[in-house]
């Protein structure tokens, strides 16, 4: 097919987002010769995405409801500045079908899927229903919202406890309740419904079997507006706190080529079920035998997309933009291959010793790691404040290696190099995880944090790192001392270098 007749060239993109993802999108736009417009709240006046963009407009006060979520204001900026496309990033308005529709109705391109696809996949129950005509494995449960408590209890009995009550409109790890036995069922269900109503404005809840040792594995997909859909392999995202990801990698250490193929095909079918176009992610949960089940589809660019970019060499934002221009996918499934291994750690302004609660403040020291195989996607600089109004993620630290071992080694080294003073971060916690034998072996699940992590462990880990550093300093001092002595007494050099290794070897 001729790829040029249906192309609508994008000349100026407004990025309806902030922080690292706004910058990330603008960088690719610039590479493609596309002008960029930033929007910002009063709290972000000096933010990097504002400085990077060709034009920038303040859209309101700091709370996102008064700025980054102001659909009509954002569309007005598009008209004022003759913007022809909007990239929503992730979070904020990215999965808001009303916004996607408003943008399209205003004659502007929405860089993302159709409003219909966003709508279907935004409801976990509607999504399950949409994919039901394909042979997609599902977690045993109820296919519809619970209306009859007794019938639901009966179903829970059949599935077997523990079960999970989930809000259909839930997201971000919220709206889930584990029920251990029949006696607790009714009370937990009532709580789940009232929570779902207050958090999501939709009380629909359903049941799923609670997979006790689950791995979270997701597949990146890309679809064009001509019906072509491909997948770009998996990302393993099982290291989570509060049901939210903190370390991701691609490929997974345990997925075999056969499982990868089956998961990839299932993901493409999920996308097909909602006529998907753009970049999207199909999430699966896998049990200890790697039986996998469809969880949900995220209809946007995912935070952890860089690990896929590293192992495939595909710039996902560039593909999103090309698809939005109406181009036919230039990548074929058979062209794609996994090269090397990539890891991402999310650097959150959070205190792992205080239940991962946000710890915002000024970045009095902020120095990024560098060197081979290191990519940092961030939106901060030294001296900046981490605002309280938004997600507390400061950066994504991504490493790439020829294999998993090298990617891990580089990540541990990069974490050591990263200097952040002024706030607590998840860096030390991530370093602990990466050195844990369960992570190294690949045999971990979403229970990692509950199973292996306590704040005291982190203290011990930091202490042993400090101790090691101190030992190395002492050893270095000892070598210097011996070298100086050697020069003074003309002793053989051999002796001094041995002094270090023996000293290291002899310690307990
Ligand atoms: P959200 O939309 O809130 O992200 P998901 O359905 O994607 O919700 O689930 C988020 C996380 O919750 C998963 O990665 C997994 O850790 C856990 N989870 C979800 N469903 C189950 C289940 N049936 N059994 C065990 N854990 C689950």
Cα separation of 182 and 305, whole Å?
40
Q: What is the pLDDT of residue 173?
A: 73
Q: Global pTM?
A: 0.89
- The reply to whether ligand 1 has any atom less than 6 angstroms from the CB of 164 is yes
Determine how β-strand 35-41 pairs with β-strand 12-15.
parallel
Domain 347-453 matching CATH 3.40.50.300: the answer reads: no
C-alpha angle 312/317/321, rounded to 5°?
Answer: 125
Same CATH topology for 4-111 and 212-339: the answer is no
CATH topology of domain 4-111: Rossmann fold (3.40.50)
* 298-343 tens-digit pLDDT: 999 999 999 999 999 999 999 999 999 999 999 999 999 999 999 9
The CATH homologous superfamily to which domain 212-339 belongs is ATP-grasp fold, B domain (3.30.470.20)
**Secondary structure E strands in 251-367:** 278-286, 292-298, 341-348, 350-351, 357-358, 365-367
Instruction: State in Å: Cα 237 to ligand 1 middle.
Output: 11
Nearest residue (by CA) to ligand 1, atom 21, is 210
Third-level CATH fold of 140-209: Dna Ligase; domain 1 (3.30.1490)
Looking at ligand 1, which residue's alpha carbon is closest to its atom 10?
173
**In this predicted structure, what is the pLDDT of residue 467?**
58
CA of 70 to the centre of ligand 1 (A): 30
Tokens at residue 16, please?
Answer: 């309806």
The segments of the chain whose pLDDT lies below 70 read 1-5, 462-508
- Give residue limits of the domains in the chain: 4-111, 140-209, 212-339, 347-453, 470-507
pLDDT of residue 483: 59
Quick one: pLDDT at residue 481? Answer: 54
Distance CA 43, CA 312 (A): 36
**Catalytic site includes residue 300:** yes
What phi, psi does 232 have (nearest 5°)?
-115, 45
Q: What is the pLDDT of residue 149?
A: 85
Pairing of β 278-286 and β 244-250: unpaired
Cis amide leading into 251 (omega within 30)? yes
**Long-range CB contacts (within 8 A, 24+) of 101-105:** 102/71, 102/72, 102/75, 103/75, 103/78
């Amino acid at each position: 097919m001729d790829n040029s007749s249906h192309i609508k060239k994008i000349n100026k993109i407004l990025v309806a987002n902030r922080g690292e993802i706004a910058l990330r999108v603008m960088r690719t736009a610039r590479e493609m010769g596309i002008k960029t417009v930033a929007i910002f709240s009063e709290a972000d006046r000096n933010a990097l995405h504002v400085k990077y963009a060709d034009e920038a407009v303040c859209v309101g006060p700091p709370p996102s409801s008064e700025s980054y979520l102001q659909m009509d204001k954002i569309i007005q900026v598009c008209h004022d500045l003759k913007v022809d496309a909007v990239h929503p990033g992730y979070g904020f308005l990215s999965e808001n079908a009303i916004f996607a529709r408003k943008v399209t109705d205003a004659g502007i391109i929405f860089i993302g899927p159709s409003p219909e696809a966003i709508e279907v996949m935004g409801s976990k129950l509607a999504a399950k229903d949409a994919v039901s005509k394909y042979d997609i494995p599902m977690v045993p449960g109820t296919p519809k919202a619970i209306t009859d408590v007794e019938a639901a209890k009966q179903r829970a009995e059949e599935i077997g406890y523990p079960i999970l009550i989930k809000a259909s409109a839930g997201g971000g790890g919220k709206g889930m309740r584990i029920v251990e036995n029949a006696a607790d069922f009714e009370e937990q269900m009532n709580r789940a419904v009232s929570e779902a109503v207050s958090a999501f404005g939709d009380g629909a809840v359903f049941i799923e079997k609670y997979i006790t040792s689950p791995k979270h594995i997701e597949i990146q997909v890309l679809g064009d507006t001509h019906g072509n859909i491909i997948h770009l392999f998996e990302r393993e995202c099982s290291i989570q706190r509060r049901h939210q990801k903190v370390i991701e990698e691609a490929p997974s250490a345990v997925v075999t080529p056969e499982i990868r193929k089956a998961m990839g095909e299932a993901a493409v079918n999920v996308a097909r079920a909602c006529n998907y176009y753009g970049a999207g992610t199909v999430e699966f949960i896998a049990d200890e035998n790697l039986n996998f089940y469809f969880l949900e589809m995220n209809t946007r660019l995912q935070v952890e997309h860089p690990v896929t970019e590293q192992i495939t060499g595909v710039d996902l934002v560039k593909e999103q933009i090309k698809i939005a221009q109406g181009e036919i996918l230039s990548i074929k499934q058979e062209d794609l291959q996994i090269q090397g291994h990539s890891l991402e750690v999310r650097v959150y302004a959070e205190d792992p010793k205080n239940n991962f609660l946000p710890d915002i403040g000024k970045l009095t020291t902020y120095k990024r790691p560098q060197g081979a195989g290191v990519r940092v996607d961030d939106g901060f600089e030294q001296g900046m404040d981490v605002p309280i109004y938004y997600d507390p993620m400061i950066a994504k630290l991504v490493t790439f290696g020829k294999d998993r071992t090298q990617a891990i080694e580089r990540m541990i080294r990069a974490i050591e190099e990263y200097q952040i003073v002024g706030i607590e971060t998840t860096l030390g916690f991530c370093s602990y995880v990466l050195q844990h034998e369960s992570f190294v072996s690949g045999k971990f699940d979403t229970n990692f944090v509950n199973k292996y992590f306590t704040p005291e462990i982190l203290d011990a880990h930091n202490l042993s790192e400090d101790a090691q550093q101190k030992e190395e300093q002492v050893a270095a001092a000892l070598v210097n001392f011996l070298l100086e002595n050697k020069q003074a007494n003309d002793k053989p050099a051999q002796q001094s270098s041995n002094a270090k290794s023996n000293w290291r070897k002899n310690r307990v």
